[in-house]
Structure 1
Amino acid sequence: MARTALITGASSGLGVEFARQLAAKGADLVLVARDAESLERVADEVRAKTGRTVEVLAADLVDPADLARVTARVADAEHPIDLLVNNAGFGLPLDFAANDIEDEARHLALHVEVPMRLSHAALQGMLARGSGKIVNVASVAGFIPRSTYGACKGWLISFSRWANGRYRGEGVTTTAVCPGFTHTDFHARMGLPKGQEGIKPFMWLDARTVVSQGLRDAARGKAVSVPSLRYKTLVGLSRLAPPSLAARVGEQGRSR
């Protein structure tokens, strides 16, 4: 297990669950998110339950100065990061033409540029040490046409597959964890009340299961982790579906 893990988007949702499970496995943590107060609450909970060291780094990752601070922490050779979890993200309405283009640009930066920069910084030290893991929280939306959210997650999946193949032989693995619809506060932050996402109950996943299966697959060095058989089946079927049908499927509900 990693000695120190840095988790972005750690103040809520899957980020909190990654913090809980990694600390329970013996990792010290660096928690990154915009909301310092929420981060401190998570840090206090983890410290109380596990006794692990938890560092809090409040930062808005789409702000260049804040991103530079986090990148420097990832690259700090004196306090190395053994596991990087790129989890920070947010959703937008699926109607790209109606969305504010500046919101779309921030969305792109957070889902693509930020994990790219942090992965690049992490790889320098990990490759020098001959060990390390990167976990990129993607989505099953990355396999299905789903506006710019699916496009961003598709990039993350493709990058993770390439990086895992390229650097696994040097001791560093990269895993894209691709959950489907998961019970977190992701949907509420988009203004979608619980139960109004249009998704059948059996399609929802539990955050603990998503994280535990994702960490299990990362420990095994897998390039892509799709938690649950139902979503593995959906991903397989999506490759056979005509583009028009896949796009209609992608319009249903909100993932992650």
Structure 2
Amino acid sequence: MARRLALITGASAGIGAAFARILASHGYDVALTARRADRLEALAGEIRLRFGVEAYAIPADLADPAGVEAVLAGVVAQGRVVDVLVNNAGYGLPGTYATTSWADQGKFLQVMLTSVCELSHKVLPGMIERKFGRIVNVASLAGLVPGAAGHTLYAATKGFLVKFSQSLHLENLATGVHVSALCPGFTYSEFHDVNGTRAQVSQSLPEWLWLGADEVAASGYEAVEANRPVCVPGAPNKTIAAIAKILPDDWALALMANQGNRFRKV
């Protein structure tokens, strides 16, 4: 195929679906993966009709340790290779660490951390060989500020993705592979509906803190094209990230302790 292929995880809605449309609008074929096959097929059909590119629906569950291999096998079955990888799949796990099960926490780590590292590791050599590649790791503003009570591993995994992306960025400066961590704040998507905090965040957070999924994905696309290692979309989020850098640690942690119940479910 003359066109390059972009693989997007968590593509059935929100930021993932927005990334799929943006990449398709720039001439990429897209491989869409998530658990909901009906959503993927509908989006693939829309993209083919709207943008005139190929779109493949590859249903898979990245909480399954075999999920990454299943996704890549779906790409290979189409005779394709991955030129762009958007690691977007993710969710929040409400509750404190002690009151949640290890089975749930283990699945969370598989989706949020292990599958990201595995996918990146398996597609990166081909990108380097072809002297072209783009990897976007959808992290979060939560990875740039102190952790909050509840959703215990969320900020930890997002902070990992920031450091991971920075290292990959530096390792590949001369290879033609661009790597960026996208760190959005509160984004209009299904994220808070799925984790049961929609009413909580809608009532307690001002509208100016929120961005649309399309705006977030557009910022991520621009950042990885420019090979910026970290992208924080939106002026309010940039301000919060900057303040978190300069505040003394104990002040920042106290602030998070005071405000965390506005957006975390303990």
TM-score normalised to structure 2 length: 0.89
Task: Tell me, yes or no, if the aligned pair for 1:75 and 1:124 is still in contact at 8 Å.
Answer: no
1:126 is matched with which residue? 127
- Structure 2 CA distance for aligned equivalents of residues 73 and 57 of structure 1: 6
CA-CA distance at 1:74 after TM superposition:
6.1
Pairwise CA distance, 1:9:
0.3
Write out aligned runs for 1:36-185 (5 A): 36-73=37-74, 79-144=80-145, 145-146=147-148, 147-185=152-190
Aligned to 1:217: 223
Provide the C-alpha distance between the structure 2 equivalents of 1:206 and 1:234, rounded to a whole number of angstroms.
18
Alignment partners' CA distance in 2, 1:179 and 1:99? 26
2:193 to 173, 179, 188: 188
194-203 or 83-92: which moved more? 194-203
Give 2:13's aligned residue.
12
1:201 matched to 2:207: yes
Q: Per-residue deviation at 1:75?
A: 7.4
| TM-score, with structure 1 as normaliser | 0.92
Give 2:254's aligned residue.
245
Task: Kindly state the Cα deviation for residue 247 of structure 1 after the two structures are TM-superposed.
Answer: 3.3
What percentage of aligned pairs have identical amino acids? 38
Stretch deviating more after TM superposition (115-124 or 74-83): 74-83
Aligned partner of residue 185 in structure 2, secondary structure: coil
- The question of whether the paired residues in 2 share the 8 Å contact of 1:75 and 1:125 is answered with no
- Where structure 1 has 5 or more consecutive residues not aligned to the other structure, the ranges are none
The one-letter amino acid of 2:226's match is R
Tell me the distance in 1 between the aligned counterparts of 2:73 and 2:261. 38
CA RMSD across the alignment: 1.9
How far apart, CA to CA, are the structure 2 residues paired with 1:93 and 1:68? 28
Gaps of at least 5 residues in structure 2 are none
| Cα contact 1:32–1:57 (8 A) shared by 2 | yes
Cα shift at 1:191: 2.0
- 1:5·1:30 contact (CA, 8 Å) conserved in 2? yes
* Residues 84, 119 of structure 1: 8 Å contact kept: yes
Report how many residues are paired. 253
Q: Provide the rounded CA distance (Å) in 1 between the counterparts of 2:11 and 2:237.
A: 25
After superposition, the Cα gap between the structure-2 partners of 1:166 and 1:252, relative to the gap in structure 1 and judged at 3 Å, is: farther
Change over 3 Å in CA distance of 1:226–1:94 after alignment to 2: farther
